[in-house]
Structure 1
Amino acid sequence: MPLNIIHDANGLPRTILTEPNGSSAEVLLYGGQVVSWKNERKEELLFMSSKAIWKPPKAIRGGIPVYFPQFGNLGSLEQHGFARNRMWSFDGDTSSLPPANNQSSVDLILKSTEEDLKTWPRSFELRLRISLSAGKLTLIPRVRNTDNKPFSFTFALRNYLSVSDISEVRVEGLETLDYLDNLERRKRFTEQADAVTIDGEIDRVYLTTPTKIAIIDHEKKRTFVLRKESMPDAVVWNPWDKKAKALPDLGDVDYKTMLCVDSAAIETPIVLKPFEEWKGYQELSTVSSSYCSGQLDPWKVLQGYHSPHPVNH
């Protein structure tokens, strides 16, 4: 299917994926970033900051930015690495991926530049396939080491999810797990609650997480199901009011309608030998959830979501 490339008001090239049921996704070449995902009723499922800066070299706050080759702020690299504020290209090499049947997809690539090699002297190719099908958005990242020596990296897909009211949201699937608390200098804790609810700033890296996590929005009667492979960690982030005011590219009350639940490989960096490739997988889908006795039964939501993979719970 030929790609339709359009340029936005800032001159940034983008393409729009559509599928027969009416859902759509908008992908920028800048950052290789999904900036919009709408369901068949044209409701926006991803959050975009009201003060997002759409001009390079700034990263765009919202959608699904790619964090590579690092998560966090280490060494001489930009915060969360450079992949999210570089211009990507369309990729013709999809030989190692199955054909995209019954879905609309785009393949992007980012290669190391002379400039990047100065700050991160490792030669790589980062590919990303973004596919849209009814009720589902899939991202398949692949990193190939094109260097003659091994290197390691950390990686995340940051999912800015649009929610009706942050106080009404529950995250299921992380109970009893250990997490590193970035608000407490990465101290390690164990999740005691039967679901993660948000009533203040949160910035946690949950470890050894299941392949499936449910984000339940009571008010919208909607559940996001996040399914992931080869990204064992999950980050849960919301800046809350004080941090939101301190972030120049986030509106003061934007924190109320967003929640980030990320697919990530952070605690144990991925190591690639020369010419070796790592492949991840993330699938976001939505299911409508109804109240039962005032509470959702998330176990049924997770069980009722058919998948060839068993549910880890």
Structure 2
Amino acid sequence: MVGRAHKPTALAATPGLAPQPTVTFSPDNTSVTAELPTGESVSVLLYGATVTSWKDSSGDEKLWLSTAAKLDGTKAVRGGIPLVFPVFGPPPSAPHPTANLPQHGFARTSVWEFLGKSTSESTPAEGAKAADDLSVKLDFGLSAASLSAETQKLWPFKFNLIYSVTLNPSTLTTSLVVTNDDDKPFDSQVLLHTYLRVNDISSVSIQGLSNSPYLDKLLSPQAQTSGPSDLTITQETDHVYSTPNGASDPVTVLENGKPRFVVTRDNLAQVVVWNPWTEKAAGMGDFEPKGGYKNMLCVEPGAVGTWQTLEPGDAFEGAQTISIAN
């Protein structure tokens, strides 16, 4: 290229352009962090495409992450938002195709590819701030070709997963698209295993699950129906709710009677509520501190009430949006 004697110097920023979201990789390229100009941030580990942190503009963490969580790819992450696919819980007995898979499947223990980011800033409504409409979306991908040879033998289907994590000033949205790229149908289940951070579980109540049929995984396989009162956590809890109106019912987590989080769902008809309480937490080697059960509550949207059967070329999409209520 021929040099120009008086060529202009590069501009550090476009004049008049408002501050934009930033996306950075960790020094070892194992995780990616997006931050809005207003200070909110989200971090995603490529191992499992696991969201490990979500902070508001003041730096207050909204997700619970065990201090003993394995972030080196040796074990599924304890905390944040692990992804469950293609089976929820212990796999069923043979001859079901998922019978030989580990509990909760392989999505949370696979290395995902970072596909890129996108940002948006729409014209704010009258009286709103421009920052309120600012967002950044991170996309991640996983396909059959990305799996180890051993895992491909355990679940021999061609598939494609696209996982999107979208950060707004007051919300975090996570969505998963499952596509069947095979020439035969397959069954799968999807769940977003979200660990919300709370100040004191004894002060927490949950709205939106009243009069819902549910399975208590600790007691009986027979379906039960919740009462009209808000749910409170006073012992080890592992319930799978199917809300009467499907995914249209929001779930609100309150603390001391005040809303803290509102979880809305798209095409995810079930909600798992889990807290290990004292004895279970003490028995999990990667659950630290042992008293951490007092500061976490899992509210997990999913499609796990039955199997989602995808014919060749079909796709399934499910999403959750967590809103900060205070």
TM-score by length of 2: 0.82
Post-superposition, which runs of at least 4 consecutive aligned residues in structure 1 deviate over 4 A?
Answer: 98-101
Contact 1:178–1:206 (CA under 8 A) maintained in structure 2? yes
Per-residue CA distance 1:204-227 (angstroms, 9 max, x = gap): 0001345311011228x5510101
Partner of 1:163: 198
Bigger Rg, which one: 2
* SS of residue in 1 equivalent to 2:265: strand
Partner of 1:294: none
Partner of 1:4: 24
Partner of 1:83: 107
* SS of residue in 2 equivalent to 1:183: coil
Partner of 2:286: 249
The code of the aligned residue for 1:57 comes to: T
Q: Give the direction of change, closer, same or farther, for the CA distance of 1:245–1:2 in structure 2 (3 Å limit).
A: closer
Q: Give the direction of change, closer, same or farther, for the CA distance of 1:213–1:269 in structure 2 (3 Å limit).
A: same
Alignment of 1:44-123 (within 5 A): 44-74=61-91, 75-91=99-115, 100-101=120-121, 102-112=134-144, 113=147, 114-123=149-158
CA distance in 1, matches of 2:275, 2:67: 15
Report whether the alignment pairs 1:179 with 2:214: yes
The code of the aligned residue for 1:13 comes to: T
TM-score by length of 1: 0.85
Alignment of 1:158-237 (within 5 A): 158-208=193-243, 209-211=246-248, 212-218=250-256, 221-237=258-274
Q: Give the direction of change, closer, same or farther, for the CA distance of 1:193–1:199 in structure 2 (3 Å limit).
A: farther
Report whether the alignment pairs 1:143 with 2:143: no
Contact 1:153–1:271 (CA under 8 A) maintained in structure 2? yes
Partner of 1:269: 307
Query: Runs of 5+ in structure 2 lacking a partner?
Result: 1-20, 92-98, 122-133
* SS of residue in 2 equivalent to 1:241: helix
Partner of 1:13: 30
* SS of residue in 2 equivalent to 1:52: coil
* SS of residue in 2 equivalent to 1:184: coil
Question: Cα distance, 1:13 vs. partner?
Answer: 1.1
Report whether the alignment pairs 1:43 with 2:76: no
Per-residue CA distance 1:144-181 (angstroms, 9 max, x = gap): 00100011101100110000111110110000000011
* SS of residue in 2 equivalent to 1:79: coil
Question: Cα distance, 1:5 vs. partner?
Answer: 1.4
Q: Give the direction of change, closer, same or farther, for the CA distance of 1:129–1:286 in structure 2 (3 Å limit).
A: same
